């Protein structure tokens, strides 16, 4: 890779300047002060990495006007490439043109830069005396070189120390003020509290177990207490039982038995004193049955009396009804009339039909009379009307009038037509005929046959026309019309109209006359029909009423209907009379039956006694029977009480016999050992009472303890102290985790940097430093043969044969610069990647060197230039001379002062 030219469009003091003709290998560019040597060196970096941000603390080479811009030409594998850049956003966009035209700038730059960062470039590939001068101590040189060669902006050692310091703010071994240590103490305290609380909680569990035991104890004690109480109660009951049995025996012997015996004697006497009429008593059920039917008997008797009274009333009413039917009617004839709704409905229908037929006949008579009156009136008018036109009224007069009307109409029409006609058409037709004849004659004479034909045709047409016109002017039938009308001449207009009007009037009157005749005939026919209907109805009624015995009044169906209704009334009364008589017979039979039953039951009745006395006699008999029954009941009760009392006396005797053995059984029933007597029982009762008292005390004590424990457990159940403590513990642990994470990241980062640094020093620095030492020895002509860099330290020490080791403060400025330069060259030499091809620009770095060391340094640089392009700027002719000696074939260029 070779930079062929550097062109500055605008960069610092450089305006449209360029440095061209640069060759591969060593290029020494001479230029006085203000020729732009530093600017060209910086411009290459800016073009490769972008124009610097103005916020960065360095020189930016701002032009007086316009923006920074420049261009580089590269020879890359024999091809020409250009890189242009103008200041802009992000350092300005690079524009790259290759042998085939525009190309991807980033790809090109990556290839050219070979992964070298800008920082590295500044330190190693494009530096001047200013950069060397910034390195004021060996330590800083060394560190800076470490940092910059590694692409770093800070010293790894500083980073390492900074991280360790930061880590120590979180945790420090043996420290007590750091957060982790504080949190550890806090965690320990929390856990102690939690353990105490848990112990208390477990105490609560123990309490709960104890509570369960107490529950069991309470239950056992309760059960024991209940058992002992039951035993005590049993013994006490036994004691009480014995005493009660003794008292019972005394009571029996002295009181109860004698008293029952006395009661028995009294009862026996009373039972014997009661006498009962057994005969009467035997009929008591029958009498009771009779009494149960007594109301029924009384009801029948009352109804019988009512029926008899009603019979009398009906008999009288029936006789009156038969009389109302009419003369000649008696009970038998009335009863013979058939009964039933159909007969009456037929008679009713008959009467209605007769009334309707009579009404229709009357209406027909009225209508016929009116028709006849109208016929007479219209006949007179018609006779007058035909007489007015000279016609006599006789059959066929209507057609005569119609014939005359037609004649007058036609006559009047013919007269009008003749009046409207003219003789002109007739004359013209005749003239045309003459012309035709003349033409035909001339043509025949002249033998002009076609004209003769035409003339003949004209003649023929004219003759037809003349005949037609003549016929229309003289109609042939006018005369006939005049004959019909009996006229001689055609009447004038007014007269003709009068005749016509008279004829029309006559026709209308004749029409009315015809219609009146027709109506009169029709009315007569209706009257005949109505009379026939009346006759038919009369016959029908006769058929219906005669079988009912009403033939005599069949001609008057209404009267017949009235008689029929009265017959019905009489028949109804006769039927009710029969029903009432039957009812009275039945009631009387019932009463007699009851009286007969009463006699059979023992009631003293005679045939003469009325039914009204029966009830009282029956009641009296029943009363007597019931008295006997009551006495019988009293006697039975007395006998039952005697039996009961006898049993009671026997039971008391048995009790007296059993009381002795019961006392023994009661004592033995307690089932306690060694308890045979009442005294034993009393002794054991005392012991049991004392045991019950002791058990009660135990029970109360256990129950109280249980209550206290339950209360404590309830308090524990609602206590969230442990949960709160656990939450606080969690918070402390989380804080520890956070602090621990912060610490861990920093501590591990510091360890990481330290480890890498140690490796870096071990693997790389020795070779770099050894090469730097070799170069330094060459430049100093063997004065300093060693450059030392102790592992893990960042200081360089130089030493030579006979020269003691010297640190940074013991070296002169020029010697230090020589050392810095050799370190750079050694680092450059250690690079083996694509970055090794990147050209190196040095800006007057040999200015402070003495002649010998300058020459030797020039030789070393010339040697480096054999594998890469080096562009060295200088303002000293001595430096030019040194390079001329070191590499006579180098490219020499010069710059003018800007």
Closer to another protein at the Cβ: 4 or 146?
146
Residue 150 within binding range of another protein, rule CB under 8 A: yes
Query: How far are the Cα atoms of 76, 157, 754 from residue 116, in angstroms, in the given order?
Result: 18, 22, 24
Q: Three-state SS string across 246-269, please?
A: HHHHHHHHHHHHHHHHHHHHHHHH
Please report, for residues 413, 475, 498, the alpha-carbon distance to residue 493 in angstroms, rounded to integers and kept in the order given: 11, 18, 9
Region of 602 please: left (phi>0), alpha (psi -120 to 50) or beta. left
Residues in the chain: 898
Of 459-467, 593-601, 701-709, 831-839, the window that binds another protein (rule: CB under 8 A) is 831-839
Question: Per-residue string for binding with another protein, 748-767, x by CB under 8 A?
Answer: xxxxxx-xxx-xx-------
833 belongs to the binding site for another protein (CB under 8 A): yes
Kindly tell me which residue out of 134, 272, 734, 851 binds another protein, with binding defined by CB under 8 A.
734
> Do the Cβ atoms of 723 and 235 come closer than 8 Å?
no
Question: 83 in the Ramachandran plot: left (φ > 0), alpha (ψ -120 to 50) or beta?
Answer: beta
Closer to another protein at the Cβ: 165 or 543?
165
Interatomic CA distance for residues 62 and 51, integer angstroms: 10
Q: Which is nearer to another protein, 209 or 285 (CB)?
A: 209
Name the minimum Å distance from CB 891 to another protein: 29
Q: Which is nearer to another protein, 117 or 333 (CB)?
A: 117
Distances (CA, A) of 70 to 9, 40, 125, 698: 5, 10, 19, 112
Q: Residue 745, interface with another protein (CB under 8 A)?
A: yes
**746 belongs to the binding site for another protein (CB under 8 A):** yes
Size of the site for another protein (CB under 8 A): 72
- The footprint of another protein on residues 111-140 (CB under 8 A) is 115-117, 120
Can residue 862 be called a binding residue for another protein (CB under 8 A)?
no
831 binds another protein, rule: CB under 8 A: yes
- Which stretch, 29-37, 86-94, 370-378, 734-742, contacts another protein (CB under 8 A)? 734-742
User: Taking the complex as a whole, how short is the minimal distance between the CB of residue 834 and another protein, in angstroms?
Assistant: 10
Q: For 29, phi and psi rounded to 5 degrees?
A: -110, 120
Q: Is 752 helix (H, G, I), strand (E, B) or coil?
A: helix
Kindly indicate which of the ranges 18-26, 505-513, 740-748, 880-888 contains the residues binding another protein, using the contact rule CB under 8 A.
740-748
Find the Cα–Cα–Cα–Cα dihedral 96, 101, 104, 106, rounded to 10°. -20
Give me the DSSP letters along 344-397.
HHHHHHHHHHHHHHHHHHHHHHHHHHHHHHHHHHHHHHHHHHHHHTT----TTH
* Helix and strand element counts for the chain (H, E): 26, 14
Per CB under 8 A, which of residues 633..672 are in contact with another protein? none
Q: Which stretch binds another protein (CB under 8 A): 59-67, 830-838, 840-848, 865-873?
A: 830-838
747 binds another protein (CB under 8 A): yes
Kindly tell me which of 546 and 714 has the beta carbon lying closer to another protein.
Answer: 714
Q: How far is CA 686 from CA 236, 497, 647, 689, 690, in A?
A: 9, 169, 42, 5, 6
Question: Shortest distance, CB of residue 673 to another protein, whole angstroms?
Answer: 41
* CA distance readout (Å), 641 to 139, 268, 269, 746: 146, 9, 12, 121
Q: How far is the CB of 726 from another protein (least distance, A)?
A: 3
Contact status: 824 vs another protein (CB under 8 A) = no
Check binding of 106 to another protein (CB under 8 A).
no
Long-range (24+ apart) CB contacts under 8 A made by 534-539 are 534/354, 534/357, 534/358, 534/361, 536/357, 537/350, 537/353, 537/354, 537/357, 538/354
Please provide the DSSP assignment of 161-209 as one string: HHHHHHHHTT--TT-SSSHHHHHHHHHHHHHHHHHHHHHHHHHHHHHHH
Residue choice 430, 552, 710, 722 for contact with another protein (CB under 8 A):
722
Q: Using CB under 8 A, which of 15, 152, 405, 412 touches another protein?
A: 152
Q: Could you say which residues in the range 362-381 bind another protein, by CB under 8 A?
A: none
Binding of residue 305 to another protein (CB under 8 A):
no
The 3-class SS string of 54-92 reads CCCCCCCCCCCCCCCEEEEEEEECCEEEEEEEECCHHHC
Near another protein in 588-607, by CB under 8 A: none
How near is the Cβ of 716 to another protein at its closest, in Å? 5
- In the complex, least distance from residue 659 CB atom to another protein, rounded to whole angstroms: 53
Q: In this complex, which beta carbon is closest to another protein, that of residue 759 or of residue 897? A: 759
Smallest distance from the beta carbon of 647 to another protein, in angstroms? 54
Nearer to another protein (CB atom), residue 149 or residue 591: 149
By CB under 8 A, tell whether 717 contacts another protein.
yes
User: Is there a contact between 364 and 529 (Cβ–Cβ < 8 Å)?
Assistant: yes
Identify which of residues 12 and 839 has a Cβ nearer to another protein in the complex. Answer: 839
Could you tell me the smallest distance in angstroms from the CB atom of residue 124 to another protein? Answer: 10
Task: Select the span of 396-404, 434-442, 500-508, 736-744 touching another protein (CB under 8 A).
Answer: 736-744
3-class DSSP state for residue 755? helix
Closer to another protein by Cβ: residue 97 or 187: 187
**731 and 739 Cβ atoms separated by less than 8 Å:** no
Task: Identify which of 763, 768, 774, 769 has the alpha carbon closest to the alpha carbon of residue 829.
Answer: 768
Two tokens, residue 692? 């019950």
Minimum CB–partner distance for residue 92 and another protein (Å) = 21
Separation of alpha carbons 783 and 415, rounded Å? 182
For another protein, the closer CB: 122 or 568: 122
Residues 153-212, interacting with another protein (CB under 8 A)? 153-154, 156, 159, 162-163, 171, 173, 180, 183-184, 187, 201-202, 204-205, 208-209
Burial class of 537 by CB neighbour count within 10 A (0 to 12, 13 to 18, 19+)? buried
Dihedral sign for Cα atoms in the order 662, 668, 670, 671 = negative
**729 near another protein, judged by CB under 8 A:** yes
**Within positions 486 to 545, which residues make up the interface with another protein, using CB under 8 A?**
none
Name which of 352 and 728 has its Cβ closer to another protein.
728
Q: How far is the CB of 835 from another protein (least distance, A)?
A: 7
Shorter beta-carbon distance to another protein: residue 620 or 748:
748
Shorter beta-carbon distance to another protein: residue 152 or 346: 152
Q: Which is nearer to another protein, 207 or 540 (by Cβ)? A: 207
């Amino acid at each position: 890779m070779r930079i062929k030219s550097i062109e500055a469009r605008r960069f610092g003091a450089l305006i449209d300047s360029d440095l061209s003709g640069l060759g591969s290998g060593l290029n020494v560019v001479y230029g006085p002060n203000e020729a732009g040597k530093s600017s060209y060196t910086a411009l290459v970096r800016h073009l490769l990495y972008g124009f610097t941000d103005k916020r960065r603390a360095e020189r930016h080479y701002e032009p007086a006007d316009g923006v920074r811009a420049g261009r580089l030409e590269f020879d890359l594998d024999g091809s020409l490439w250009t890189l242009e850049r103008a200041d802009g956003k992000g350092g300005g966009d690079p524009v790259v043109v290759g042998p085939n035209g525009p190309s991807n700038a980033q790809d090109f730059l990556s290839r050219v830069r070979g992964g070298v960062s800008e920082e590295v470039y500044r330190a190693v590939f494009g530096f001047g005396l200013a950069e060397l001068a910034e390195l004021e101590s060996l330590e800083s040189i060394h560190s800076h070189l470490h940092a910059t060669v590694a692409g770093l902006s800070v010293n790894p050692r500083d980073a390492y120390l900074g991280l360790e310091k930061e880590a120590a703010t979180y945790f420090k071994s043996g420290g007590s003020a750091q957060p982790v240590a504080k949190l550890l103490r806090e965690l320990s305290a929390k856990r102690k509290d939690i353990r105490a609380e848990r112990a208390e909680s477990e105490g609560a569990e123990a309490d709960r177990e104890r509570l369960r035991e107490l529950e069991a104890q309470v239950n056992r004690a309760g059960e024991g207490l209940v058992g002992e109480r039951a035993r005590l109660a049993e013994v006490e009951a036994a004691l009480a039982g014995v005493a009660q049995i003794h008292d019972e025996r005394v009571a029996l012997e002295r009181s109860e038995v004698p008293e029952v015996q006395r009661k028995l004697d009294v009862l026996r006497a009373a039972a014997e004193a009661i006498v009962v009429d057994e005969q009467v008593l035997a009929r008591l059920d029958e009498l009771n049955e009779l009494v149960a039917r007594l109301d029924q008997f009384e009801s029948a008797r009352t109804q019988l009396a009512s029926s008899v009274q009603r019979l009398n009333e009906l008999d009288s009413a029936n006789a009156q009804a038969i009389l109302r039917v009419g003369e000649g009617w008696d009970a038998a004839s009335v009863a013979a009339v058939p009964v039933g709704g159909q007969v009456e409905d037929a008679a009713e229908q008959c009467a209605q039909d007769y009334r309707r037929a009579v009404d229709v006949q009357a209406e027909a008579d009225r209508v016929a009379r009116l028709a006849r009156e109208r016929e007479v009136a219209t006949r007179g008018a018609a006779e007058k009307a035909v007489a007015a036109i000279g016609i006599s009224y006789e059959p066929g007069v209507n057609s005569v009038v119609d014939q005359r009307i037609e004649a007058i109409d036609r006559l009047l029409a013919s007269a009008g037509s003749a009046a409207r006609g003219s003789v002109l058409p007739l004359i013209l037709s005749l003239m045309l005929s003459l012309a035709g004849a003349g033409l035909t004659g001339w043509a025949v004479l002249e033998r002009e046959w076609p004209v003769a034909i035409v003339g003949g045709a004209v003649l023929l047409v004219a003759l037809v026309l003349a005949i037609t016109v003549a016929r229309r002017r003289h109609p042939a039938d006018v005369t006939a019309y005049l004959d019909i009308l009996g006229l001689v001449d055609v009447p004038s207009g007014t007269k003709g109209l009068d005749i016509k009007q008279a004829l029309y009037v006559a026709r209308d009157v004749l029409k009315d006359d015809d219609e009146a005749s027709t109506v009169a005939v029709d009315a007569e026919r209706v009257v005949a029909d109505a009379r026939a209907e009346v006759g038919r109805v009369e016959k029908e009624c006769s058929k219906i009423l005669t079988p009912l015995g009403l033939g005599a009044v069949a001609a008057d169906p209404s009267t017949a209907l009235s008689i029929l209704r009265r017959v019905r009334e009489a028949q109804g009364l006769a039927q009710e009379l029969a029903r009432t008589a039957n009812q009275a017979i039945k009631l009387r039979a019932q009463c007699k039956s009851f009286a007969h039953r009463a006699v059979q039951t023992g009631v003293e009745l005679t045939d003469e006694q009325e039914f009204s006395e029966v009830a009282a006699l029956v009641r009296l008999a029943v009363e007597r029977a019931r008295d006997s029954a009551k006495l019988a009941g009293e006697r039975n009760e007395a006998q039952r009480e005697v039996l009961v009392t006898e049993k009671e006396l026997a039971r008391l005797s048995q009790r007296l016999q059993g009381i002795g053995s019961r006392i023994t059984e009661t004592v033995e029933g307690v089932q306690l050992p060694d308890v045979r007597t009442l005294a034993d029982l009393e002794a054991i009762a005392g012991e049991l009472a004392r045991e019950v008292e002791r058990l009660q005390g135990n029970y109360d004590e256990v129950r109280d303890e249980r209550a206290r424990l339950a209360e404590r457990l309830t308090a524990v159940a609602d206590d969230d102290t442990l949960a709160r403590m656990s939450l606080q513990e969690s918070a402390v642990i989380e804080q520890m985790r956070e602090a621990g994470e912060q610490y861990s990241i920093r501590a591990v980062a510091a360890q990481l940097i330290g480890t890498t640094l140690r490796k870096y020093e071990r693997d790389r620095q020795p070779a770099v430093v050894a090469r730097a030492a070799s170069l330094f020895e060459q430049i100093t002509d063997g004065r300093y043969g060693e450059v030392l860099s102790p592992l893990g330290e960042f200081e360089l020490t130089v030493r030579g044969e006979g020269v003691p080791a010297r640190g940074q403060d013991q070296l002169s400025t020029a010697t230090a610069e020589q050392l810095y330069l050799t370190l750079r060259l050694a680092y450059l030499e250690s690079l083996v990647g694509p970055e090794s091809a990147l050209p190196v620009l040095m800006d007057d770095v040999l200015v402070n060197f003495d002649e010998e060391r300058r020459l030797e340094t020039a030789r070393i640089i010339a040697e480096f230039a054999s594998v890469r392009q080096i562009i060295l700027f200088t303002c000293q002719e001595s430096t030019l001379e040194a390079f001329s000696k070191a590499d006579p074939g180098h490219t020499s260029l010069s710059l003018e002062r800007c």
